[in-house]
Amino acid sequence: LEEKISILEKQIPKTYPDVRYLNYLARKRILVTGGAGFVGSHLVDKLMKEGHEVIVADNFFTGRKLNVEHWIGHENFEMIHHDIVNPLYIEVDEIYHLASPASPPHYMENPVKTIKTNTIGTINILGLARRVNAKVLIASTSEVYGDPDIHPQPETYWGHVNPIGPRACYDEGKRISETLTYAYAKQEKMQVRVARIFNTYGPRMHMNDGRVVSNFILQALKGEIITIYGSGGQTRSFQYVTDLVEGLVSLMNSNYTLPVNLGNPVEHTINEFAAIIKELVGGNSKIVHSSEVEDDPQRRKPDITRAKKYLNWEPKVNLNVGLQKTVSYFREELRKFSHSQRN
């Protein structure tokens, strides 16, 4: 009997697969379009740390290799220089479709290209997902609500968008991107997810992308004038990037197929926001008001009931904590820049 037991004991480890084997089974091949950008690179970090194979497709319009350079050379990581307006033929299990400029000055720089990226680009991604039977998550935006006349904004609100205004290339581009996604889902029986992302900030934001967080922090750090467009009474709600990434992955892994708002409901006027950043950075920057921006949404705050209910998700990072991390990142970037200028 003892001999039999000892033989059985030796067999046990073989009967139960070890953790590495289980991880291998759970590993997915995941495409992140726009993965060299601000949000995309943080998402790549999470997926890589979970042990997945990650492929980034990016044309580096607003993204940069530096954002993902720490993964270059890793056996699970691959980067393709690719413009999503062109077809892409690869084999993957999941797709996070983030490719699109996100800040107003960037998406207005070449509006036709912004529209092509969000229409033809999304068609290509949906075509790819259809061919390989991949689950696909589309990064949409709170801009689909336009200048909202309902506050806060639930997903059931259809929006208030000027179809021919300066923001239309982005807003309508994202709206058609959502429409395409649900048309494919219905017609081709595909698994789709749509995240309506609200204003997000954090390290690796493009320094000169003209968004309010980067502008105010840079202006405060350099002791320059802090520029508020218009009265500053308009509001935004800012979420820290790691909260967003948690939400994106939860949404992908959920069974929920309708659009989901991902944002932090803590709302501030732009005036308050300028004061918070000035206080945090210190320095003597003056706060000055300049002319208002055309079609600037006046109020924005997510209703996140859906995300709480279906994803069990809500943001965790407090604004001051998130801003401190972002200020440190910008400070370091400025230091590197001035160092490279000197040498």
Q: Is residue 59 at the binding interface for ligand NAD, with CB under 6 A as the rule?
A: yes
**Paired sense of beta strands 94-97 and 287-290, if any:** unpaired
Nearest alpha carbon to residue 213 among 45, 329, 66: 329
Q: Which residues are catalytic?
A: 170
101 scored as a contact of ligand NAD (CB under 6 A)? yes
| Interface region with ligand NAD, contact rule CB under 6 A, candidates 1-9, 31-39, 267-275, 313-321 | 31-39
Among 47, 129, 135, 141, binds ligand NAD (CB under 6 A): 141
Angle at alpha carbon of residue 321, lines to 141 and 233, rounded to 5°: 55
Identify the three-state secondary structure at position 330: helix
Q: Is 119 in the site for ligand UDP (CB under 6 A)?
A: no
Peptide bond between residue 148 and the one before it cis (omega within 30 degrees of 0)? no
334 touches ligand NAD by CB under 6 A: no
Residue 98, beta-bridge partner list: none
How many positions of this chain bind ligand NAD (CB under 6 A)? 29
- Work out which of 43, 212, 241, 323 binds ligand UDP, going by CB under 6 A: 212
Give the range of 17-25, 125-133, 172-180, 303-311 binding ligand UDP by CB under 6 A: 125-133
Helix (H) or strand (E) holding 127: helix 111-132
Q: What is the DSSP letter of 68?
A: G
Q: Is residue 122 a contact point for ligand NAD (CB under 6 A)?
A: no
89 in helix, strand or coil?
coil
Characterize the bridge pairing of strands 29-33 and 53-58. Answer: parallel
Contact set with ligand NAD (CB under 6 A):
33-34, 36-40, 58-63, 83-85, 98-102, 117, 121, 139, 141, 197, 199-200, 206
Binding site for ligand UDP (CB under 6 A): 87-89, 103-104, 123-124, 127-128, 130-131, 199, 211-212, 215, 227-229, 234, 236, 270, 293, 296
